[in-house]
């Protein structure tokens, strides 16, 4: 493991990669800060650029963007009460009241220190957990992978969109349907191409991500008439106050950070749970842990109320890399986007990645940590300046997002058809968003579609067409029972809420 | 059963799934693959059924959290104008070239979204695109097709 860490450090600390982490963190912070745009959009916008680099460099850039965007989301939560991502909603509960009290700088500093500490602790967990899990997962067979992929999709549908299980499952199926367009990987038989050459290679992953996130998010902002610039006027973005944290506050944070980190990491590892659930759970848990007089301060600017969700969401971000790097199965929408990018580089994440591409495996882990250090030493002092971006009017912001989306696809294919297809998918995605159909399950399913079909193919061929492979091995049975429990739990919850 | 927009979307999804399933059955597989436990149409057929199942449930079951979007607050005009601008941009980017079509797309988009400060509109369109193109084409050596600039002799 030490050798691996050194390989990772060597790759991550090369001048080019170090620059990429810095640029990624900076760009991610800016994009993540803009209300409505989260890490998935930030990463999606970066994918066309990363294809020009070595795989390790491209992934390091994306990891930097990811952390930057999460940090940026916290900034907009604290300053304008408009969380850039669901994972930072809980941050606004105490961050925004603190900013209203004239302590915006302090709130941002607490968020940054908590994120850093949560990220550090979870990076250590990741260092320990990832190689061990890689070794264990070598014993996984096709039926187990097929089961795990269904589990991932079901869990994302169940947890990422509370109360919208059926809608999320519909989005999963839509994602799988889109993934099935193009030539069959084994027989080269065209499927759903409608005799169009443009569809014979299938629909590009970048196209779907850009359409369902960057473009449809921009269109949703316009159609809903939300003006981030109007909201930005609520708190002065030029005078954020001191960023110093006193002894008492440090003591409070020291108590909160370890427990929120552990909780966040565990939640992050679970497929589908991710940063949003981690931050809410950490907030609720912290409220139960503190003394009754501190409990009263929750929702009114409590240091622990701000520190807990911030620690947990960053810890969950690291945790979500565990299933991606070790099993090749993303546990969240963001890691699904990263998986798509990895596949674009010709790298198949999974237990073998640890052996076949140790430089990539370890450099991604190490650069995630370096990214957090960069965020702390570079972004925190620059926050007063970066925050002014929140005042950029949407009249300029939206066309820029659309421009980057169209350009991204244009540079990849030089084909009008792809641009029109992207616009079409974006329009449909915008309508679906208006009615609360979640997009992360669609992306996750789109990325997993090919792998899922491949593993089902192998499983069915091995068992000679019988579905008994689902209960032949104890591991597969455990996975299938977990899926059943999630589905039954969701149906029970729906029944309960309808009855109310 | 109360009909609302979500139910209509679910119904459309159901129809899409039926069409998908029908198309999946039409996939021509090799003769020796017809009776195989798995062929090119197996997975799509299961997907078609899954789509029908979930959308069917959504249509039949009562809504847990009914959502109605108040259309009076939606900015349809701006959105449609922007989508049309994007379509025109997509249609012209290869023929007219990256520089002119992108710059005009940005100018029109800023204008349609209500921006009237022409100084900023100009700065964030033509010069912005020129810098972007220089970075991409000149610095990063990413190929950008622009017949117009090539004709004038600016781009190689």
The mean per-residue pLDDT over the stretch A351-358 comes to 75
Q: What is the pLDDT of residues A136-160, one digit of tens each?
A: 766 778 898 898 888 878 877 876 6
Q: Which domain holds residue A262?
A: 2-499
Of B24 and B34, the structure prediction assigns the larger pLDDT to B24
User: What is the reported pTM?
Assistant: 0.78
Interface list for B 37-66 with A (CB within 8 A): 37-44, 47, 50-51, 54-55, 57-58, 61-62, 64-65
CA–CA gap between residue A394 and residue A221 (Å, rounded): 9
Closest Cα in chain A, distance from residue B32 (Å): 12
Sequence-distant (6+) residues with CB within 8 A of A228 are A34, A35, A36, A80, A82, A221, A390, A394, A397
Cα separations in angstroms, B44 against A150, B12, B34, B38: 15, 18, 15, 11
pLDDT band, very low/low/confident/very high, at A235 (cuts 50, 70, 90): low
The pLDDT value recorded for residue A261 is: 92
Partner residues linked to A182 by β-bridges: A191
Q: Is the confidence at residue A430, as pLDDT, over 90? A: yes
Dump pLDDT digits (tens) for A256-274: 999 999 988 888 877 665 6
Lowest mean pLDDT across A236-245, A337-346, B83-92, B101-110: A236-245
Contact between residue A84 and residue A76 where contact means Cβ atoms under 8 Å apart? yes
Q: CB-side exposure of A446: number of CA atoms within 13 Å? A: 29
Average pLDDT, chain A: 82
**What percentage of chain A exceeds 70 in pLDDT?**
90
Could you tell me which residues come within 8 angstroms of residue B132 by beta carbon, excluding any fewer than 6 positions away? none
- pLDDT on residue A226: 53
Number of domains in chain A: 1
Residue B60 sits in the same domain as residue B77: no
Range of weakest confidence among A218-222, A283-287, B111-115, B136-140: B136-140
pLDDT at A98: 87
Using the structure block, give the residue that is written with the tokens 């602790």: A121
CA–CA gap between residue A86 and residue A313 (Å, rounded): 10
pLDDT tens for each residue of A370-426: 888 888 887 677 777 777 766 678 889 889 889 988 888 888 788 899 999 999 999
- Alpha carbon of B94: minimum distance to chain A alpha carbons (Å): 7
Residue A191 pairs in a beta bridge with A182
Chosen domain end from B47, B68, B89:
B68
Spatial CB neighbours of A193, under 8 Å, sequence gap ≥ 6 = A181, A182, A183, A199, A200
Percent of chain A with pLDDT over 90: 15
B80 and B148 share one domain: yes
CA distances (Å), A430 to each of A221, A224, A435, B37, in order? 10, 10, 9, 39
Rounded Cα distance between B156 and B154, Å, is 7
Residues B122 and B53 in one domain: no
Q: How confident is the model at residue A237 (pLDDT cuts 50, 70, 90)?
A: low
Claim to verify: residue B84 and residue B147 sit in the same structural domain: yes
Residue in A191, A393, A434 closest to B44 by CB: A191
Cα B43 to Cα A138, A191, A205, A453, B21: the distances in Å are 26, 11, 19, 6, 10
Record the tokens describing residue A256, joined without a space.
Answer: 């909160």
* CA distances for A254 relative to A162, A257, B45, angstroms: 32, 6, 55
pLDDT higher for A268 or A450? A450
Of the two residues A427 and A85, the one the predictor is more confident about is A427
Closest Cβ–Cβ partner in A191, A398, A432 for B40? A191
Cα–Cα dist A21/A39, whole Å = 15
pLDDT at A233 over 70: no
The residue ranking higher by pLDDT, B61 or B86, is: B86
Report pLDDT for B12.
Answer: 97
As for how many domains chain B has, the answer is 2
**pLDDT on residue A230:** 45
More confident site: A403 or A210: A403
Residues B83 and B136 in one domain: yes
Residue A228's pLDDT band (boundaries 50, 70, 90)?
very low
- Whether the predicted pLDDT of A86 surpasses 80: no
| Band (A162; pLDDT cuts 50, 70, 90) | low
Query: Residue A118 in contact with residue A260, Cβ under 8 Å?
Result: yes
* Strand segments (E) across A95-214: 182-183, 190-191
- Joined together, the tokens standing for residue A401 give 């997002």
Based on the domain organization, do B86 and B135 belong to the same domain?
Answer: yes
First-to-final CA distance of chain B? 64
Angle A129-A71-A300 from CA coordinates, rounded to 5°: 110
Choosing from B41, B68, B95, the residue where a domain stops is B68
**Section A103-113 average pLDDT:** 86
DSSP, res A212 = I
Q: Is the model's pLDDT at A229 over the cut of 60?
A: no
Least confident interval from A32-41, A276-285, B32-41, B52-61:
A32-41
d(CA A234, CA A232): 5
- Give residues with Cβ within 8 angstroms of B26, minimum separation 6: none
User: Which residue from A16, A98, A30 is spatially nearest to A60, judged by alpha carbons?
Assistant: A16
Please answer yes or no on whether A191 and B38 come within 8 Å at the CB atom. Answer: no
B145 in the same domain as B98: yes
Confidence of residue A189 (pLDDT cuts 50, 70, 90): very high
The SS3 assignment for B64 reads: coil
Query: In Å, how far from its chain's centre is CA A6?
Result: 27
Q: What is the largest CA-CA distance in chain A?
A: 69
Q: Which of A169, A223, A414 sits opposite B74 (nearest CB)?
A: A223
Record: contact B113-A225, CB cut-off 8 A: no
Pick from A238, A232, A253, A234: which is nearest to A109 by CA?
A253
Which range in A30-39, A55-64, B48-57 is most confidently predicted, on average pLDDT?
B48-57
Considering only CB atoms, which chain A residues are within 8 Å of B90?
Answer: 406, 416, 419-420, 423
The number of residues in chain A equals 500
Place of tokens 């708190």: A235
The candidate with the shortest Cα–Cα distance to A252, out of A287, A303, A212, is: A303
Q: What is the pLDDT of residue A225?
A: 77
pLDDT at A435 over 50: yes
Token readout for B91 is 């249609």
User: Does residue B9 share a domain with residue B22?
Assistant: yes
Band of pLDDT at residue A432, cut at 50, 70 and 90: very high
Using a CB–CB cutoff of 8 Å, tell me whether B126 touches chain A. no
Round to whole Å and give the CA distance between B156 and A389: 36
**More confident: A498 or A334:** A334
pLDDT at A305 over 80: yes
| Pairwise CA distance, residues B36 & A216, whole Å | 41
Residue A444 has pLDDT above 90, yes or no: no
User: Is the per-residue pLDDT at A313 higher than 60?
Assistant: yes
Helix axis angle, A274-289 relative to A89-100, nearest 10°? 60
Cβ-defined contact of B67 to A192 (cutoff 8 Å) = no
User: Across the A/B interface, how many CB contacts are shorter than 8 Å?
Assistant: 168
Contact check, Cβ <8 Å, A416/B67: no
Q: Where are the beta strands (DSSP E) in B67-151?
A: none
Residues of B with Cβ-Cβ distance to A173 under 8 angstroms = 17, 47, 50-51, 54
Domain boundary among B23, B50, B68: B68
pLDDT in tens, A118-138: 888 888 888 787 777 767 766
Which residues in chain B are contacts of A20 at CB distance < 8 A? none
Say yes or no: B98 contacts chain A, CB-CB below 8 A.
yes
Contact present, A403 and B102 (Cβ < 8 Å)? yes
Closest CA to A74 of A43, A124, A22, A109: A109
Q: Does residue A97 register a pLDDT over 60?
A: yes
Same domain, B88 and B52: no
Place of tokens 């940090």: A71
Residue A405: name the closest of B96, B73, B139, B93 by CA: B93
> What pLDDT shows up at residue A178?
96
Where does the pLDDT of residue A494 fall: very low under 50, low under 70, confident under 90, or very high at 90 and above? confident
Higher pLDDT, A88 or A37: A88
pLDDT surpassing 80 at residue B64: no
**Out of A395, A410, A498, closest to residue B64 by CB:** A498
Q: What's the confidence (pLDDT) of residue A379?
A: 67
**Size (chain B), residues:** 156
Give the Cα separation of A302 and A14 in Å (integer).
41
Give the sign of the dihedral formed by CA A334, CA A340, CA A346, CA A348.
Answer: positive
More confident position, A277 or A238: A277
| Alpha carbon distance A119, A369 (integer Å) | 7
Give the domain range for residue B25. Answer: 5-68
């Amino acid at each position: 493991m030490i050798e691996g860490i050194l390989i990772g450090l060597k790759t991550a600390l090369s001048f080019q990669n170090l620059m990429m982490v810095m640029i990624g963190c900076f760009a991610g912070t800016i994009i993540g800060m803009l209300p409505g745009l989260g890490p998935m959009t930030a990463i999606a916008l970066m994918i066309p650029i990363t294809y020009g680099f070595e795989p390790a460099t491209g992934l390091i850039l994306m990891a930097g963007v990811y952390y930057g965007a999460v940090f940026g989301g916290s900034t907009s939560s604290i300053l304008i009460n408009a969380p850039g991502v669901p994972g930072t909603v809980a941050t606004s509960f105490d961050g925004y009241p603190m900013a209203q009290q004239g302590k915006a700088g302090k709130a941002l500093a607490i968020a940054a220190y908590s994120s850093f500490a949560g990220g550090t602790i979870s990076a250590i967990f990741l260092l320990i957990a990832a190689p061990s899990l890689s070794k264990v997962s070598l014993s996984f067979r096709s039926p187990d992978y097929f089961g795990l992929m269904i589990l991932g999709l079901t869990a994302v549908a169940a947890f990422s969109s509370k109360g919208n299980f059926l809608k999320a499952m519909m989005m999963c199926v839509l994602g799988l349907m889109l993934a099935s367009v193009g030539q069959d990987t084994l027989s080269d038989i065209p499927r759903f191409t409608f005799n169009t050459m443009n569809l014979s290679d299938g629909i590009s992953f970048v196209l779907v991500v850009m359409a369902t996130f960057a473009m449809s998010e921009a269109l949703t902002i316009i159609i809903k008439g939300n003006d981030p610039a109007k909201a930005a006027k609520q708190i002065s973005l030029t005078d954020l106050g001191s960023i110093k944290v006193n002894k008492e506050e440090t003591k409070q944070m020291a108590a909160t950070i370890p427990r929120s980190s552990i909780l966040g990491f565990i939640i992050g590892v679970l497929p589908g749970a991710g940063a949003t659930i981690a931050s809410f759970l950490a907030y609720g848990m912290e409220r139960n842990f503190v003394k009754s007089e501190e409990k009263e301060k929750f929702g009114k600017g409590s240091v622990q109320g701000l520190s807990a969700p911030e620690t947990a969401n960053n810890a969950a971000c690291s945790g979500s890399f565990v299933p991606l790097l070790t099993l090749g199965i993303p546990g969240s929408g963001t890691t699904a986007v990263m998986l798509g990018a990895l596949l674009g580089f010709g790298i198949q994440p999974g237990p073998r990645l640890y052996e076949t591409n140790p430089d990539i495996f370890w450099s991604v882990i190490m650069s995630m940590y370096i990214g957090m250090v960069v965020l702390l030493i570079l972004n925190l002092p620059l926050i007063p300046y970066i925050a002014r971006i929140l005042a950029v009017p949407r009249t300029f912001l939206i066309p820029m997002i659309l421009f980057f989306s169209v350009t991204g696809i244009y540079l990849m294919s030089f084909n009008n058809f792809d641009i029109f297809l992207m616009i079409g998918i974006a329009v449909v995605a915008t309508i679906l968003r208006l009615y609360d159909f979640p997009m992360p399950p669609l992306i996750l399913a789109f990325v997993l579609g090919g792998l899922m079909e491949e593993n089902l193919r192998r499983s069915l061929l091995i068992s000679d067409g019988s579905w008994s492979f689902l209960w032949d091995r104890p591991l597969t049975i455990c996975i299938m029972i977990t899926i059943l429990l999630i589905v039954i739990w969701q149906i029970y919850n729906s029944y309960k809420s309808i009855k109310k | 059963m109360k009909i609302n927009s979500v139910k209509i979307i679910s119904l459309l999804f159901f129809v899409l799934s039926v069409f998908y399933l029908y198309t999946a059955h039409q996939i021509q597989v090799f003769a020796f693959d017809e009776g195989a436990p798995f062929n090119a149409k197996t997975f799509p057929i299961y997907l078609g059924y899954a789509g029908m199942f979930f959308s069917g449930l959504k249509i039949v079951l009562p809504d847990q959290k009914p959502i109605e979007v108040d259309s009076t607050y939606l900015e349809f005009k701006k959105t449609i104008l922007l989508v049309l601008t994007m379509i025109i941009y997509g249609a012209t980017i290869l023929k007219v070239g990256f520089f002119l079509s992108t710059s005009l797309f940005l100018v029109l988009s800023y204008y349609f979204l209500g921006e009237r400060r022409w100084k900023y509109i100009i700065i964030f369109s033509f010069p912005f695109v020129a810098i972007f193109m220089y970075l991409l084409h000149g610095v990063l050596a990413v190929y950008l097709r622009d017949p117009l600039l090539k004709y004038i002799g600016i781009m190689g």
